[in-house]
Structure 1
C-alpha cells in the first residue's frame, strides 16, 4: 500500500479518532502550541463517555473543556508542568503532577515509569516519503510515540516541517485528523525597567561567540533585546521563541562559532508567532530534537561558553532556588532549569544565570530570603547555583562559602530589606 493510500485509510473525524482511547489510559500531549485542538476539543465534548483517562502535558496553553473539575473522574489533567490553564485543577484537588527533570522524561517514558498509552499531537503535512514532522515540539513526545498503543495525529498545514530527530512515518500512525486552524501565537512578555536592568547586567557578561540557552519570561527576553549588537552567537536551547528570531534578524546569531553542531540552532519546542513558525519550516539552520538530546547536561555542555538564562521566584541564603511553587502549591514545574544550570557548569567558559526581581507584590516581599517558604519545591540546588542577578547587581555563588553567599545575596537584595536580612543572617550565624 502506498503512503498516500495509508494516509487515506487512516483519515477519520476527531470524534472517531478519540475512540482509540480506552478507560484508564494516559494520553501524552506535546508542549504548549503543539497540542492538537481538534482532538482535545473532541475529547472534551465526549469526556463523559470515558472513565479515569489522564492527559499529561507540559504547559497547556488552552483551557479545554476536559479541564472541568466536575468531570475529573472521567478525564483529568496530570501535568508535567503547570500553566494558567491547568493550575486551578490542582487547587481544586482534581489535578496531579509528575516531578521530573525535563531532560529525563523520555527515559522515564521508555522505561514505563511514566505512562503513555496514547499520543495526541499536531504534525505537519506528510511529505512524499510518508513522513510528518513534529516541528513544534518533539520534546518527550517522540519517546511516547515509541511506547504508545495508539498514535493519533492532527495534520495541520500551519505546522512547520522542521529538520532534526522529529519525524514520524505514516506506518506509525493509528489514526489521523485534519485541521487547518492557525497555530496559537504567544506574544513576548512585558519588559519593564526592572527586567531591563537585570537584562543589562546579564548581557554585559555575555561575550561574542557564546552559545545561548534562554528560558521563557520577561527577564530572559530583556537579556535578548540587549544582545542585538553581539557577534557570532549560537543557540542550543529548549525553547525557540521570537526573541531568538530578533537576534537572528539583527545578525547577532550565526551559529558559526559553536564547537558542538556548528552552523545549527538546536531546540526542543517552539513558542511564539506565526512568523517564527514559518521561519522553522524546512530551514536547514534549525534542528528540532527530543528533550533528552537538547537538555542533557553532558550533550549541551559540549558547547563552549554556554550561557544559560533562567528565572526563579525565590532564593535563600544558600542559593537554593524555588522556581516552580508558591510554598507547597505548584505554580509551574521543574522544566529544564536544572538541566541547563548543570549544562553551563560543565561547559568550558559556561555561565548559568538565575534571574529574579528583588521583590514581589509591589515591593512588599523580598524574593531573597533567609530560608525558602516552607513547602517550597527546590528547583536548582545550592550545589548547582552559579550567578544570581537582580536589578541591584550580580552575585556569583559557585565555590563560595555559606557566609560569602549570604553576604553576596544581601548585597543584591532590595535596599529596603537588607537590614532585616542582615539581622536574620546574624541569628543564623551566617554573618
Structure 2
C-alpha cells in the first residue's frame, strides 16, 4: 500500500491522500492486526531490520523475528539499532549467517558478539544516526517498534525512545508495531498515526527496567565535587548514563531553577523535579519543559513521563544539535569515560581493542556546552581515578586500540575523586600537571616520570 501510494504520486496521479513519509500525517488505510509470528514473516533474506531501542525494545517481535529466521533458513539479515534491552537473541552463535547485528551504540547484550566478530559496531555521533536513514546510507526494509495504543485520533506514541526511531519509521518500507498499554504516551516528535503501520501486534508486557546499581564512595565523592563546584543555579543539565551522572543528580537537592536538556535521563531527574529543583525556567529551547530523546530507568520514571506535558521527547538530531544545545543558559554536560592520557585524549567506547559502548552523545553535548552563547557552559567528563584492579585510569599512553571519542582539544573539565582538572587553554606540560594532580596518589610519581619521558620536560602549572 505504501509503495502503491508513492508510485501514484510519482506518476502524477494526485489525490487528497497522496503518500507522506511524515508519521503525523493520517493516511486513508488501516493496519492489519496479526500475531508476532505472522507480522515478522514479511522479513526475507538480505533484509535490513531496524529494532527500537532502550526501554522501548519490542521483545516479543525480536523473539518472533529470531525464530522466523532460524526456522525458515533465512540468510544475511542485518539488524540495526542503538543499545537495546533484554536478550538480543539474533546475536546468539546459532544465528551466525542468519542475522548480523549492526549497533550504533553497544549495549551489554551485544558486546560479546561484536568482540567475537559475529556482529558489527558503527562509530557515529548520536545526533547523526538519523542521517543514515534519511540519506539512504542504510535502507531499512522492516522497522520493529513498540508503541502505545492508538488514541481517539488514531495516534500511537513511540514513548520512551524517540531518538533515531522516528527517522527509522519515516524511511522504512514496512513498519510493524508492538502495541503495549504499558508504553508511556509522551509528547513531542514521537507520535505516529496508526495508518502508517503495515501490521500491529498485541504486546502487553512490562517495559525492561534499568535499576540503578549501588554507588561506591568514590562515585558519590565525584558526584558531590561536580555538584558543589561546577553546577550553578539556573544551569541546563545533560547527563549521560551511569552511576557518576546519577551521583551528581543525587547531590543537587539544594540547587534551584535547573533545566534539563539531555539526550537521555533516568530516575534521578524525577527526584529533583519532585523536590522543586528542576523548573526549566531559564531555558531558551522549550522553556519550562524537560527536553530529551530517550529514557532509561524504572517504572517510576515511565509513570512520570506518561501523558506529562512537562516532558518533550524529540528526534535526537534536534536534541543533540550543537546549535540547539548552545542556545540554553549555563549548559553543564556531565559524562563518564574509560581512560585519559596525559595530554587529555579521552577513551569512551572501548577498553583497548574490546568494544564496550559507543560514541553516543558525549561529543555533541561537550561541544554544545563549550560554545554556549552565554559563555558559561561547562563540558565535564568524570571517572574514578583507578580501575577495579587498582590500575590508574589516567595513563601516559592510551591502551593499544583504545577509541578516542573526545579529543584533547575537546576536554575542558576532568573530575576524579581527587579533584577537578581544568584543561581549556592549557599546553601539554600544564595539562599533564593538572591531570597528575587528580590521579590516585599511588600513581602520581610514576605518571610524573612518564610525562617527563614523553614531553622531555617536567609537568608544571607555570605559564
What TM-score do you get using the length of structure 1 for normalisation? 0.96
Offset from partner CA, 1:256-289 (integer Å, 9 cap, x none): 1213221010000011111211111111110001
Shift of residue 47, structure 1, vs aligned partner:
2.2
Within a 5 Å distance, the mapping from 1:268-279 to structure 2 comes to 268-279=293-304
Shift of residue 108, structure 1, vs aligned partner:
2.0
Bigger mean CA deviation after superposition, 40-49 or 235-244: 40-49
Offset from partner CA, 1:323-378 (integer Å, 9 cap, x none): 11011221111111111111111112110110000000331x10001121111111
1:267 aligned onto 2:292: yes
1:360 aligned onto 2:382: no
5+ residue gaps, structure 1:
none
Within a 5 Å distance, the mapping from 1:25-44 to structure 2 comes to 25-44=47-66
Shift of residue 30, structure 1, vs aligned partner:
2.4
Shift of residue 62, structure 1, vs aligned partner:
1.2
1:241 aligned onto 2:266: yes
CA distance in 2, matches of 1:416, 1:86: 35
Shift of residue 117, structure 1, vs aligned partner:
2.0
**Of residues 195, 198, 208 in structure 2, which corresponds to 1:174?**
198
1:125 aligned onto 2:125: no
2:20 paired residue number: none
1:308 paired residue number: 333
SS in structure 1 at match of 2:41? helix
**Of residues 88, 106, 115 in structure 2, which corresponds to 1:64?**
88
Give the count of matched residue pairs: 428
Bigger mean CA deviation after superposition, 414-423 or 270-279: 270-279
1:223 aligned onto 2:248: yes
Offset from partner CA, 1:373-405 (integer Å, 9 cap, x none): 111111111111110000000001111111111
Q: Is the contact made by 1:30 and 1:139 (CA closer than 8 Å) also made in structure 2?
A: no
5+ residue gaps, structure 2:
1-16, 18-25, 459-463
What TM-score do you get using the length of structure 2 for normalisation? 0.90
1:97 aligned onto 2:121: yes
Shift of residue 20, structure 1, vs aligned partner:
2.2
What is the Cα-based RMSD across aligned positions, in Å?
1.6
1:345 paired residue number: 370
- Residues 247 and 339 of structure 1, relative CA distance in 2, 3 Å threshold: same
CA distance in 1, matches of 2:328, 2:89: 43
Q: Is the contact made by 2:41 and 2:68 (CA closer than 8 Å) also made in structure 1?
A: no
2:139 paired residue number: 115
Shift of residue 6, structure 1, vs aligned partner:
5.1
2:13 paired residue number: none
**Of residues 206, 224, 232 in structure 2, which corresponds to 1:207?**
232
Q: Is the contact made by 1:44 and 1:64 (CA closer than 8 Å) also made in structure 2?
A: no
CA distance in 2, matches of 1:148, 1:88: 28
1:402 paired residue number: 428
1:379 aligned onto 2:401: no
Q: Is the contact made by 2:88 and 2:110 (CA closer than 8 Å) also made in structure 1?
A: no
CA distance in 2, matches of 1:228, 1:11: 47
Q: Is the contact made by 1:69 and 1:92 (CA closer than 8 Å) also made in structure 2?
A: no
SS in structure 2 at match of 1:93? coil
Q: Is the contact made by 2:86 and 2:208 (CA closer than 8 Å) also made in structure 1?
A: no
CA distance in 1, matches of 2:157, 2:84: 20
CA distance in 2, matches of 1:64, 1:113: 24
Shift of residue 140, structure 1, vs aligned partner:
0.8
Shift of residue 98, structure 1, vs aligned partner:
1.1
SS in structure 2 at match of 1:379? strand
Shift of residue 95, structure 1, vs aligned partner:
0.7
2:450 paired residue number: 424
**Of residues 1, 13, 17 in structure 1, which corresponds to 2:39?**
17
Shift of residue 146, structure 1, vs aligned partner:
1.4
SS in structure 1 at match of 2:168? helix
CA distance in 1, matches of 2:41, 2:304: 35
Runs of at least 4 residues off by over 6 Å: none
